[in-house]
């Protein structure tokens, strides 16, 4: 059994990690870290865990944790992981960081979008961007994995085949994203109250959202073309789910929708968590809820010669905790799908 | 592997059965029955099952099914199962009926509340009421199990210890129940449209709901006192979940809340799916979603000498498909919890 | 034009007062009080008021306010109004208090349920309980009106005719109440976050909710019988609306449902804001949203000789701001319905 | 009082017309048309209207209606109005058609997108496109007004100033639209059930939605440039509201966001129902609910030289019934804002 420590286990992503790891056959949680709830039983914070998890929440003493855990998940605010991580820690335990700290290779880009000084620049290079479908082999050997952001995961997987094949104008990409409210975290803010989110939709972080450079970096790597995108996230009144609707100009005319869909199916044929839908079906967040699936489809608008790329995913699973477990599985050489094969929950 | 046939697999309860059985280690589904979608792939009806279930929907030919399945689940409208069931079928396969047809022992009571003629009266006696926590031993040997209704399951388990111990006036019981919209089924009716259910709460079936006699029969058996209740269900704008708030007069004064809670904890100590909460916690449907759990607590109002009994459950799991699987496990002598130990999904 | 000052204008009830008064033909708001947002434009707090209300939020200087306003609404936490009110203020302006401070005649009862010392006990006697349908004449002459609580308003109006006529056992009354999330206020608490309230229903304040003694006092006055009730509120995932489902034993047998409904229709025949529904219809919060209406109906369960009394109302309108405006209209001798005749908003 | 007949009064848009006209000081409804509910009281179809509207629903006899009404609203499926309308009818009464029948000037375009034969081609030319902010003068003299579609209204008003000024590349426009479920109508379909819409977001009608040519035609007229757009609508789990997020390439570099916002404010300065927000605020549907307002803002992404244009509106008010009333006001020479000045309802 892999001994797992979680720092930040009382946020929504942390709790989802707990849920997933509880049914994982080769892992056990040995540390429920939470700065806010030290000394409370975990089930007092999340009632679903009553009689299931009886452990107490402990603080975020990462050094102590390296003696108990073989892998540490940090599901913490930006800046935490990079401020505590060190070569010493990595020499003892593997780390999967669910924050943005090690996702962006250029520390200056990180600092300018996150308005934070990066405290472990020397470790950035080593960190592997944990998008399993793309970096599977590097992940297997990594000590430090930067678990991708929710929007970047869904955006990238939705656009990847067309970007990789060079079929779209990379600087025409517009990503219009929609997320459920769990993406905003469990902090007590007026803007996240039930009556403020319910019966409403709004864009936020327009032109300034911090997932923008992460998506751009990955698309640049995939396509070989320096890419700048427009990225606009929206808050949707639902608990879970991300839907990406991305637009790009096709470089040539005459590429049919069927051909592109076939290409997507080929690209993702062996991927256990990616489903390329059939013609006329559009991805819907309800069909992936609670699962590690990403549903993808494309449509070609012949009138404008643009392709519409759509992807749906559960932001807490493939967009956070599920992908983190998938990374752990790869890093420990066990079956990549272990603990992640539950069917989506509907309705 | 137990070969399972499902008649009515394309309703919400049927689909939940599919979801649960997919992760059951000792069962496999061999027949996806659906009168409405014959010839369609199952995943065309429920997109979550894309690339997971590739079978076609077949009709409801129960005779043919007895040759293929060791157990048949009927998740069908009232009157269906009783109109097709026979000794011959039962001699070949076990049947777990999720409808109300075999729940009530007195056919006249059934007929007067359901406004239907019962077509298999001779089989009623044999049918075992599939409330596992109460009838575990009979279920193990049953050929025909009447899977309890959603409201009755939650109502009964919430009231049971006090009824059994004779501590409450059985004819003072008032059950105020609240259910999510999946309880109304997947039929296309104006009353169930999003805009009609959303931002609304209403009572329905006041004094006439068909689960009333089922609850009364079970409470009468448990207490030994002929019981008449008031039962008022309400429709709540959420997908899943039932909450029961039940009220009764305590026969004596001076029984403390702590003492009753202790009694509940003792009653349900060994039950894998019942959680009696600690003082000051109230059951909430969010904490049981997607799981087979029932959360229960009580409060005593010393001013009125009444006890308030509360229970929360997922109507599609413990209230339908989960309990059906639990019954199957008992009937086939496998671990009662097989396929049912997933932690609740939150948020 | 009546000059109106609002203290606590940036809570949900305060904002609803603003909305209603904006379309009131004989009132104008001269003071937008808000401790939390002093110096902000009102529309910065509530975006719906952009280009409609351009005033700044001011502090809660009630003395200064008496020079500018003819009536002051206090939509503030419990304890505020009673700590600032004085004979001097009342000699200058009328006050309508939306908090609980002056609702309960016995200060000891107030203090024991609210865990607060009452700072203006000498004014309690003068305060008129502002339930317009019952105390219309006293309200007309009042200087200080205690605007009823949301649950008490709906509970009382739903039970009143049967209580007044002496047809029910007053000590058998059980009130099971359900409210939308705006009733919990706009404070930033984890428990009120979207993901915590959505897809959930729970009871809260079981046996201890502070509206209990207020309901009991009014029912006692109406019936002439000292009344103790069970009152259990529930939080429902919707923005607005309260539904009351109340139960009581009929003192006699043989009183038909039709006869009781007829009595209700007679009682409320001239009331502009109370609608007694026809047989077989149940009150639903969606049908009263945004309006000052209370929808009521009853059902008799002949099997148990109990009556089920149901009422639906918008908690922010008739349960708070609408009733406050109705009180103001009465106090200033203008048409009682002024500003309150908009049809409910659906869907 | 203007005598008003409504054909299709029992859909969501029809009912909203009723709600708005009830508080209109110079109009009265004389005919509640509804093919589905002939002979029923209007309040039996919409319980909010109990004791408010006591009329019976009548059929859709448009000829008879011309004798009773001075203006007829047709809130009917596509193809109805064009199949019954005639010169004779228009010579007697004004008609405001809420369907798409007379919105598109080229009948062939209409027929190819709507897959319907147009039965009154001779009347298309006369019809005025009822976007009040743009065609105010023609509307004043019109006999037949084609009330704009919900998506086109919000899309056009959001893009109009930039299109009119020639500052954006008209063939780079991408419109990503989001709508609440009332936009899907009140028909009983599985896809519109509560459990199917709740906790979900999806795109639909990708590249094929019928509002596309309507938007293109209006943008072409405004800009003088033949315009083809990408238009992708999404279904959001909420009752009301449309949010438009539109993207376009700026033709020049160096135009600041502030300058464009200033231009929008100038364009719409005198418009009573358009609010151009201040910097850093994004339109949200909650701030316009129940009102005739359109909230608009823009953001410039200097990195990509694109402008993001955002607009929020209540689809049933400014997107249907409210705009229809606004058109009626113009056609009858009364105050344009009559019946439409209520503040938005929040929460």
B83 close to B59: Cβ distance less than 8 angstroms: no
Residue of chain C minimizing CA distance to D23: C342
- Whether A181 and C197 lie within 8 Å, measured CB to CB: no
Q: Which residues contact A254 (CB under 8 A, 6 or more apart)?
A: none
A240 close to A314: Cβ distance less than 8 angstroms: yes
D181 contact B CB<8A: yes
Q: Where are the beta strands (DSSP E) in chain B?
A: 2-7, 27-32, 71-74, 94-97, 128-129, 144-146, 174-179, 202-203, 230-235, 242-249, 274-276, 294-301, 306-313
Instruction: Say how many CA atoms lie within 13 Å of B122 toward its Cβ.
Output: 7
D150 catalytic residue (yes or no): yes
Length of chain C: 347
What confidence tens digit (pLDDT) does each residue in B150-174 have? 999 999 999 999 999 999 999 999 9
Catalytic residues of B: 150
Give C244 to chain A, closest Cα distance, Å: 21
Kindly list the residues from chain A whose CB atom is less than 8 angstroms away from the CB atom of residue D240. 199
Instruction: Say how many CA atoms lie within 13 Å of C196 toward its Cβ.
Output: 22
Residue B110: its pLDDT value, please?
97
Rounded Cα–Cα distance for residues D297 and D158 (Å): 8
A59 vs B193, residue with greater confidence: B193
Fold that domain A151-314 belongs to in CATH: Dihydrodipicolinate Reductase; domain 2 (3.30.360)
Residue ranges matching CATH 3.30.360.10 in chain D: 151-314
- Whether C195 and A186 lie within 8 Å, measured CB to CB: yes
Rounded Cα–Cα distance for residues A226 and A234 (Å): 26
Residue ranges matching CATH 3.40.50.720 in chain B: 2-126
Rounded Cα–Cα distance for residues A6 and D231 (Å): 43
What band does A186 get if pLDDT is binned at 50, 70 and 90?
very high
DSSP tag of A320? I
Task: Tell me the count of A-C CB pairs closer than 8 A.
Answer: 54
Q: End-to-end distance of chain A based on CA atoms, in angstroms? A: 34
Residue of chain B minimizing CA distance to D46: B196
Give A141 to chain C, closest Cα distance, Å: 37
Q: How many CB atoms lie within 10 A of CB A125?
A: 9
A279 contact D CB<8A: no
pLDDT of A301 over the 90 cut: yes
Phi-psi region of D66 (alpha: psi -120 to 50; beta: other; left: phi over 0): alpha
* Residue among A181, A189, A237 minimizing CB distance to C188: A189
A239 contact C CB<8A: yes
Residue B220: its pLDDT value, please?
98
Residue A60: its pLDDT value, please?
81
Pairing of strands D94-97, D174-179: unpaired
- Whether C48 and D344 lie within 8 Å, measured CB to CB: yes
A166 close to A252: Cβ distance less than 8 angstroms: no
A43: tokens are 């089930």
Q: Which of A57, A81, A132, A150 does the annotation list as catalytic?
A: A150
Kindly list the residues from chain C whose CB atom is less than 8 angstroms away from the CB atom of residue A198. 181, 194, 198, 237-239
* Residue among D181, D193, D197 minimizing CB distance to B186: D193
Kindly list the residues from chain C whose CB atom is less than 8 angstroms away from the CB atom of residue D194. none
> Which strands, in side-by-side order, build the sheet including A2-7?
A57-58, A27-33, A2-7, A71-74, A94-97, A144-146, A128-129
* Residue among C180, C230, C245 minimizing CB distance to B308: C230
Q: How many CB atoms lie within 10 A of CB D172?
A: 21
- Whether C238 and A186 lie within 8 Å, measured CB to CB: no
Kindly list the residues from chain B whose CB atom is less than 8 angstroms away from the CB atom of residue D181. 193-195, 198
C287 close to C297: Cβ distance less than 8 angstroms: no
Kindly list the residues from chain A whose CB atom is less than 8 angstroms away from the CB atom of residue D198. 238, 347
Give A36 to chain B, closest Cα distance, Å: 19
What confidence tens digit (pLDDT) does each residue in A191-232 have? 999 999 999 999 999 999 999 999 999 999 999 999 999 999
Kindly list the residues from chain B whose CB atom is less than 8 angstroms away from the CB atom of residue D192. 193-194
C190 contact A CB<8A: yes
D180 close to B194: Cβ distance less than 8 angstroms: no
Q: Which residues contact A99 (CB under 8 A, 6 or more apart)?
A: A74, A75, A76, A77, A78, A79, A80, A81
C310 close to B236: Cβ distance less than 8 angstroms: no
Residue of chain C minimizing CA distance to A195: C239
What band does B87 get if pLDDT is binned at 50, 70 and 90?
very high
Residue-wise pLDDT tens for chain D (347 aa)?
999 999 999 999 999 999 999 999 999 999 999 999 999 999 999 999 999 999 999 998 888 899 999 999 999 999 999 999 999 999 999 999 999 999 999 999 999 999 999 999 999 999 999 999 999 999 999 999 999 999 999 999 999 999 999 999 999 999 999 999 999 999 999 999 999 999 999 999 999 999 999 999 999 999 999 999 999 999 999 999 999 999 999 999 889 999 999 999 999 999 999 999 999 999 999 999 999 999 999 999 999 999 999 999 999 999 999 999 999 999 999 999 999 999 999 99
Kindly list the residues from chain B whose CB atom is less than 8 angstroms away from the CB atom of residue D196. 194
Rounded Cα–Cα distance for residues D298 and D92 (Å): 44
Give B190 to chain D, closest Cα distance, Å: 5
pLDDT of A61 over the 90 cut: no
D162 close to D260: Cβ distance less than 8 angstroms: yes
Instruction: Say how many CA atoms lie within 13 Å of B112 toward its Cβ.
Output: 8
Bridge partners (DSSP) listed for residue B309? B246, B298
B231: tokens are 């039962």
- Kindly give the parts of chain C with pLDDT less than 70: none
Kindly list the residues from chain D whose CB atom is less than 8 angstroms away from the CB atom of residue C25. none
- Whether B198 and D12 lie within 8 Å, measured CB to CB: no
- Whether C206 and B241 lie within 8 Å, measured CB to CB: no
Give A259 to chain C, closest Cα distance, Å: 40
B261 close to A316: Cβ distance less than 8 angstroms: no
The mean pLDDT of A66-77, rounded to a whole number, is 96
The mean pLDDT of B51-65, rounded to a whole number, is 93
Kindly list the residues from chain A whose CB atom is less than 8 angstroms away from the CB atom of residue C194. 181, 192-194, 196-198, 237, 239
Residue D287: its pLDDT value, please?
98
The mean pLDDT of B207-231, rounded to a whole number, is 98
Give B48 to chain A, closest Cα distance, Å: 4
Residue C144: its pLDDT value, please?
98
D237 close to A237: Cβ distance less than 8 angstroms: yes
* Residue among B48, B277, B343 minimizing CB distance to A344: B48
φ/ψ (deg, to 5) at C45: -85, -35
Describe the crossing of helices B132-140 and B150-164 by its angle, rounded to 10 degrees.
Answer: 100
Q: Which residues contact A181 (CB under 8 A, 6 or more apart)?
A: A192, A197, A235, A236, A237, A238, A239, C193, C194, C195, C198
The answer, yes or no, to whether the previous bond of B347 is cis (omega within 30 of 0) is: yes
Q: Which residues contact C346 (CB under 8 A, 6 or more apart)?
A: C286, C287, C289, D15, D19, D46, D48
Residue of chain A minimizing CA distance to B284: A47
* Residue among D207, D282, D285 minimizing CB distance to A308: D207
* Residue among B15, B22, B287 minimizing CB distance to A47: B287
D209 contact A CB<8A: no
D215: tokens are 């938007």
Surface-to-core class of residue D333, CB atoms within 10 Å of its CB (0-12 exposed, 13-18 middle, 19+ buried): exposed
Q: What ipTM score was computed for the predicted complex, to two decimals?
A: 0.97
Rounded Cα–Cα distance for residues B245 and C203 (Å): 8
What band does B215 get if pLDDT is binned at 50, 70 and 90?
very high
D57 contact A CB<8A: no
- Whether A199 and D286 lie within 8 Å, measured CB to CB: yes
Residue B256: its pLDDT value, please?
96
Residue B137: its pLDDT value, please?
98
Kindly list the residues from chain C whose CB atom is less than 8 angstroms away from the CB atom of residue B228. 303-304
D2-126: CATH superfamily: NAD(P)-binding Rossmann-like Domain (3.40.50.720)
* Residue among A18, A50, A239 minimizing CB distance to B347: A239
* Residue among B202, B207, B245 minimizing CB distance to C301: B207
Burial B27-58 (b: 16+ CB within 10 A, else e): bebbbbbbeebeeebbbebbbbbbebbeeebb
**Candidates A195, A241, A286, partner chain C, best to mutate (most C CBs within 10 A):** A195
Pairing of strands A202-203, B128-129: unpaired
Residue B86: its pLDDT value, please?
96
A346 contact B CB<8A: yes
Bridge partners (DSSP) listed for residue C301? C306
Pairing of strands C27-32, C71-74: unpaired
Rounded Cα–Cα distance for residues A18 and A28 (Å): 9
A342 contact B CB<8A: yes
Residue of chain C minimizing CA distance to D199: C199
Give A146 to chain D, closest Cα distance, Å: 26
Residue of chain D minimizing CA distance to B187: D190
Q: Which of C81, C132, C150, C154 does the annotation list as catalytic?
A: C150
D189 close to D217: Cβ distance less than 8 angstroms: no
Q: Render A235-284 in DSSP notation, one character per residue.
A: E-SSSS-EEEEEEEEBSSS---HHHHHHHHHHHTTT-TTEEEPPTT---B
Give D12 to chain B, closest Cα distance, Å: 10
Residue of chain C minimizing CA distance to A47: C196
Q: Which of D57, D81, D132, D150 does the annotation list as catalytic?
A: D150
Bridge partners (DSSP) listed for residue D261? none
Neighbours of chain C (3+ CB pairs under 8 A): A, B, D
């Amino acid at each position: 059994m892999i001994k797992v420590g979680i720092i930040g286990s009382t946020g929504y992503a942390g709790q989802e990690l707990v849920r997933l790891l509880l049914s994982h056959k080769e892992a056990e949680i040995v540390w429920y870290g939470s700065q806010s709830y030290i000394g409370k039983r975990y089930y007092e914070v999340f009632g679903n865990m009553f009689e299931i998890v009886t452990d107490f929440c402990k603080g975020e003493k990462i050094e102590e944790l390296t003696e108990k855990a073989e892998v540490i998940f940090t599901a913490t605010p930006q800046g935490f992981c990079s401020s505590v991580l060190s070569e010493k820690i990595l020499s003892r335990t593997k780390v999967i960081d669910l924050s943005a700290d090690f996702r962006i290779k250029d520390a200056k880009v990180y600092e300018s979008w996150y308005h934070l000084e990066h405290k472990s620049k020397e470790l950035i290079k080593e960190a592997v961007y944990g998008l399993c479908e793309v970096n599977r082999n590097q992940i297997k050997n990594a000590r430090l994995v930067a678990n991708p952001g929710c929007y970047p995961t869904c955006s990238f997987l939705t656009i990847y085949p067309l970007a990789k094949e060079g079929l779209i104008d990379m600087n025409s990409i517009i990503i219009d994203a929609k997320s459920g409210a769990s993406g905003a975290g469990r902090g007590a803010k007026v803007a996240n109250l039930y009556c403020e989110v319910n019966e409403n939709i709004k864009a936020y972080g327009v032109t300034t959202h911090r997932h923008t450079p992460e998506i751009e970096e990955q698309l640049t790597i995939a396509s070989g073309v320096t890419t700048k995108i427009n990225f606009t996230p929206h808050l949707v009144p639902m608990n879970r789910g991300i839907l990406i609707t991305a637009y790009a100009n096709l470089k040539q005319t005459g590429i049919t929708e069927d051909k592109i869909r076939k290409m997507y199916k080929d690209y993702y044929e062996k991927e256990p968590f990616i489903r390329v839908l059939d013609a006329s079906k559009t991805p819907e967040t309800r069909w992936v809820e609670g699962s590690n699936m990403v549903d993808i489809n494309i449509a070609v608008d012949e009138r404008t010669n643009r392709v519409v790329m759509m992807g749906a995913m559960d932001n807490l699973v493939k967009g956070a905790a599920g992908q983190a477990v998938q990374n752990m599985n790869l890093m420990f050489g066990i079956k990549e799908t272990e603990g992640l094969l539950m069917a989506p929950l509907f309705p």
